[in-house]
Amino acid sequence: MLKVENVSFGYTKTKVLESIDFKVKTGENLAIIGKSGSGKSTLLKLIHGKYDLDEGQIFWNAKEIQGPKFNLVVGYDFMKFVTQEFDLMPFTTVTENIGEHLSNFYPEKKQKRTSELIKIVELEEFAKTKVKDLSGGQKQRVALARALAKQPKILLLDEPFSHIDNFKKQSLRRNIFNHLKANNITCIVATHDKNDVLGFADEIIVLHNKKIIAKKTPQNLYRNPKLPLIASFFGEFNEIEPYGIVYANQIKVVEDSDLKAIVKQCYFNGDFWLVEAEYNSESIFIQHKNELEKEVEIAFHITK
Ligand code: ADP
Ligand code: MG
């Protein structure tokens, strides 16, 4: 179990994080979300032991995670951190980068483990390519495999799929998160992408104004977002009195209703159209299966 107890921290006198308190059970996947600059990366760095805390303590089971004041070398063997600036060895191959810290004492075991990881990050074609010749997304995948190589007990991921294109993202996410679950590896992932979270996180914490403002399962956070900031993470939404926060997919166009709006603009979105309409002199957004004609009056229901 990871325990973050009442942690406060600032790079200067101004605090970046204040009274941060949460636990993550072994093998669970915790997502940290929040606006850019809300302290997601900082929190991961604190868990990694990169800085000394101003207040509070962090424990992995009975072991206290300590900063540079108490710990000469940053980091612990049981923990791996894939940062936004992945540090790799550019002049060696993908295979060598992934296997670097594996013992040469058992060459067969090393080879088996390395190729298993290359498969997880789908880099089979590039096994012998030097890292300097890879794209940003491919480098990010090498960094992920490298972090998994030594079978950490806890993995910290900072925007882990940010450089990876959409073609690869979906399967890569499933490969990585399934591997972590199957191996009971605790994972903390900072992200601004809901797709990194919804199908995979056991819990989500939301950072805002230095504090944790929510800690919930993805389903509970999605269904009851409480604040516009939280709803905006999941998609297009409206604030409609007296209903509160209403996602665009919770508005249904119907034959007749007391609620009426005028269509202003339609945006193609693949699976649906996002319809912008005027209701009570304000814009609302509706998810609809077809394009609608501009300036036409529609009736709608709210289904929440
Ligand atoms: P996020 O990852 O959520 O975007 P960060 O943790 O990177 O947020 O940053 C949180 C705040 O701390 C920001 O205001 C940022 O400018 C500041 N900050 C981040 N790193 C440093 C640093 N090394 N020195 C000083 N301030 C920093
Ligand atoms: Mg960050």
DSSP per-residue letters across 128-178: TSBGGGS-HHHHHHHHHHHHHHT--SEEEEESTTTTS-HHHHHHHHHHHHH
59/270 Cα distance (integer angstroms): 45
Residue 75 has pLDDT above 90, yes or no: no
The answer as to CATH 2.40.50.140 being correct for domain 236-302 is yes
Domain 2-223, second-level architecture? 3-Layer(aba) Sandwich (3.40)
Residue 104 has pLDDT above 90, yes or no: no
The per-residue pLDDT for 86 is 79
The ligand 1 site (C-beta within 6 Å) comprises: 11, 16, 34, 36-42
Which atom of ligand 1 approaches the CA of 190 most closely? 2
Domain extents for the chain? 2-223, 236-302
Mean of pLDDT values over 45-73: 95
Q: What is the DSSP letter of 183?
A: T
Residue 30 has pLDDT above 90, yes or no: yes
Q: Which residues of 21-56 are buried (b: 16+ CB within 10 A; e: fewer)?
A: ebebeebbbbbbbbeeebbbbbbbbbbbbbbebeeb
β pairing state of 260-268 and 297-302: antiparallel
159/224 Cα distance (integer angstroms): 25
The mean predicted confidence, pLDDT, of the chain is 95
Weakest mean pLDDT among 75-84, 180-189, 271-280? 75-84
Question: Of residues 105 and 91, which shows the higher confidence score?
Answer: 91
The per-residue pLDDT for 294 is 97
Task: Give nearest CA residue, ligand 1 atom 19.
Answer: 42
pLDDT for 199-238, tens place per residue? 999 999 999 999 999 999 999 999 999 999 999 999 999 9
Task: Give nearest CA residue, ligand 1 atom 7.
Answer: 41
Residue 105 has pLDDT above 90, yes or no: no
Q: Give me the helices (H) in the chain, please.
A: 40-48, 94-99, 107-120, 136-149, 166-182, 218-223, 228-234
The per-residue pLDDT for 166 is 82
